[in-house]
Amino acid sequence: MHDLIARAARDLAGTHNAVALTGAGISIESGIPPFRGPGGLWEKIDPMEVAHIDALRRDPHKVWERLIQGMLKVLAKAAPNAAHRGLAALEDLGQLEAVITQNVDGLHQQAGSRDVIEFHGSFAWQRCMTCERRRPSETLDLAVIPPRCECGGILRPDCVFFGEMIPPEHLARAQQLSAGCQVMLTVGTSATVHPAAMLPLIAREAGARVIEINPEPTPLTARTSDYLIPGPAAQVVGDLAAAVAALRTPPA
């Protein structure tokens, strides 16, 4: 693994416009369970019953009770790990242009990343399903669910449910960054949910090097990605950022 981290550090040190695509795996070591795989959320609850926009419209109380409330509690306790901090450090070093994240946890921004595209929106904000007014999730009173807006409408997280479109400005910028980067790092994503899963393909077809960081192979492995660094995000990205910083520091 050491050799692969050194290789990725050399690939990154030679670029100024790398892009990271992150998924739930980067936040596992922050205490947030993933969606798929062992301990995944979709093992316990059926996403079509609680994470589809039709389910939210049909029975908001059930979706709040079975999905949103629990996620808000887990997210409130989570803090960034070495992988989030490593990506922020790579941005500071001038190597990484932006992070495109499928996560709704806000941990990249908490770690200091400045240019973050929240591809699937965010749980930090709620939006009224009637008047569209937004308010921070931390101001919610959850004594009665679903919580309501001043207008009487039902509040929902400002994120993308299954069956909803990716906000067009996020989709356009993510596609543009993917088509223009020299290196794409994919970190902790199963690369199974579209259109996010298309982004590494766009990068690859435009000539970028695609480097995967994941303890397990994914559909990208050996097809779209140039190589997989098999390991947990906190260790790999933390070591990678340190290795890039060392390459950038001239010997004394």
Catalytic annotation, residues: 120
215 binds ligand OAD (CB under 6 A): yes
d(CA 33, CA 16): 32
Cβ closest to ligand OAD, residue 7 vs residue 52: 52
Q: Which amino acid is at 134?
A: R
Cβ closest to ligand OAD, residue 44 vs residue 248: 44
Instruction: Tell me whether strands 18-22 and 96-101 are parallel, antiparallel or unpaired.
Output: parallel
What is the layout of strands, in order, in the sheet containing 134-136?
A: 134-136, 121-128, 155-159
Q: Figure out which of the listed residues 13, 15, 35, 74 binds ligand OAD, where binding follows CB under 6 A.
A: 35
Extract the tokens encoding 22. 């992150």
53 binds ligand OAD (CB under 6 A): no
Residue 5 half-sphere exposure toward CB, CA atoms < 13 A: 21
- Kindly determine how many residues on this chain lie close enough to bind ligand OAD according to the rule CB under 6 A: 28
d(CA 223, CA 216): 15
Residue written as token pair 């922020």? 88
Please report how close the Cβ of residue 192 comes to ligand OAD at its closest, in angstroms.
Answer: 6
75 conformational bin, left if phi > 0, alpha if psi -120 to 50, beta if neither: alpha
Cβ closest to ligand OAD, residue 29 vs residue 91: 29
Residue list 116-135, contact with ligand OAD (CB under 6 A): 120
Between the alpha carbon of residue 4 and those of residues 33, 121, 161, the distances in Å are 27, 32, 36
Q: Figure out which of the listed residues 8, 12, 28, 67 binds ligand OAD, where binding follows CB under 6 A.
A: 28
Cβ closest to ligand OAD, residue 28 vs residue 183: 28
Please report how close the Cβ of residue 89 comes to ligand OAD at its closest, in angstroms.
Answer: 17
Instruction: Tell me whether strands 155-159 and 183-187 are parallel, antiparallel or unpaired.
Output: unpaired
Cβ closest to ligand OAD, residue 148 vs residue 173: 173
Q: Figure out which of the listed residues 19, 124, 160, 211 binds ligand OAD, where binding follows CB under 6 A.
A: 160
Helix spans in 181-227 (H):
199-205
Residue closest to ligand OAD when measured from CB atoms: 25
23 binds ligand OAD (CB under 6 A): yes
* Contact mark string toward ligand OAD, 229..248, x via CB under 6 A: ---xx---------------
What is the layout of strands, in order, in the sheet containing 18-22?
A: 116-118, 96-101, 18-22, 183-187, 209-213, 227-229
Please report how close the Cβ of residue 214 comes to ligand OAD at its closest, in angstroms.
Answer: 5
157 binds ligand OAD (CB under 6 A): no
* Extended strands (E) in 112-204: 116-118, 121-128, 134-136, 155-159, 183-187
Please report how close the Cβ of residue 233 comes to ligand OAD at its closest, in angstroms.
Answer: 4
Positions touching ligand OAD (CB under 6 A) are 23-26, 28-29, 34-37, 40, 47, 51, 102, 120, 160, 162, 188-190, 192-193, 214-216, 218, 232-233
